[in-house]
Structure 1
């Protein structure tokens, strides 16, 4: 019988907070309940913001919480060649294109469009969709601009990708923390527009790396926050045209701050290390997150 495989996959770009603790402990609880495996993956493709110091802090916090995981830990920054091989395939199959517009150019394009009375569509995170102009560039022009070292990112041609897989896409979603019942959720990858799948200097993105890693690591149960619910539709699309197995998903509740927003490293919410230094115990943390 194949063991169920769970994973916890933090990014070492800040201190872990209570939301991370809940996700990590829930994954451990479910892995133990199902006699499964728990993997730890360090999602450090952002080589500027992710640092060895933050990673050391992540590992120390998880060990203090009592989390156990299988070795070796997978660090995404050590596997760029694997992601690049997948990117090369997407380029060959004409499913991605080089996108040259800077953030200021995107803002100007959208502002001009909205001045003329058109509301610009946004993705589920509220980010404006990428304008269509670069997708229409002739191949010769694309090659010239790349040869002249213009900055660009590789974006997924969402219409071409959806057309390639044909038919409706869905994923299996568990309905509660016990993982005892499921429902089918319609995947809506078009809601994301032409997302970035790689950058010129980093041959991957969050969406591409996480999809490839879950397949390579044999992850069968993805348990992560509700804030990534909509992103699953895009990752299902990538799984489909790359011919990768699809895990079943559970998107758990978020741990909110006193003001009702989700906790965030970037906003400096209280980290686990700070709580530990203030005298909190691992059992205190479990109680604070409802476990």
Structure 2
């Protein structure tokens, strides 16, 4: 259960549920019925919105449980996140990537440049040596640029951009960032789907959890830092049930946000392709 209840109104940071559209018209389509969540921050109007399939019921339960179990650690990270986030936001903006991707660094390393994993991944973005070399970072006995926040963020941005070009879905990108593209491609073939929630059972457990941790972390960091969107008016809000659960509240708030979609087109500027090499 979330410790801080979310006010019932529409925000400049919009959680919008809408009928999904073909994100990649050149790719084969599927007939799954799902909704799409758009995270769109107005902190930087030049950054594209982040859209992905909404969590299923189990996914919502995981979000609540993860935040509850990790609230103390997430609070510590939040308290020292201002300077790292400022640098990361600058790089993500340059590469025209959603600013919410900075929260991937939270679950990768807790924003620690010196973090080292059990398999040798290092730095804020937990890049393996081989991947770091391919992305242009110097890794040798004298220098390890994986520990340089700005340089490693540039490398991670290139990798995330390339993965999004390949998969066209941010949840699949996050799974591929964790375990590589091959397991994601295999899962897509086995499930005959491009929807993370439909194919997650075919992914390695660590990659499944990685994606859900990201969703939970975005929710944790963004829920308390939003302001009412003054332009939105005449928003009809359903009366919550007296015994409404946390999952039901989350779903209700997203449904209510959908009713403001037509009044919020200015928030949903189309993303432009990255030009940075």
Q: Please indicate, yes or no, whether the TM-score normalized by the shorter chain is above 0.5.
A: no
TM-score, scaled relative to structure 2: 0.26
More helix by share: 2
Which one has the largest radius of gyration?
1
More strand by share: 1
TM-score, scaled relative to structure 1: 0.25
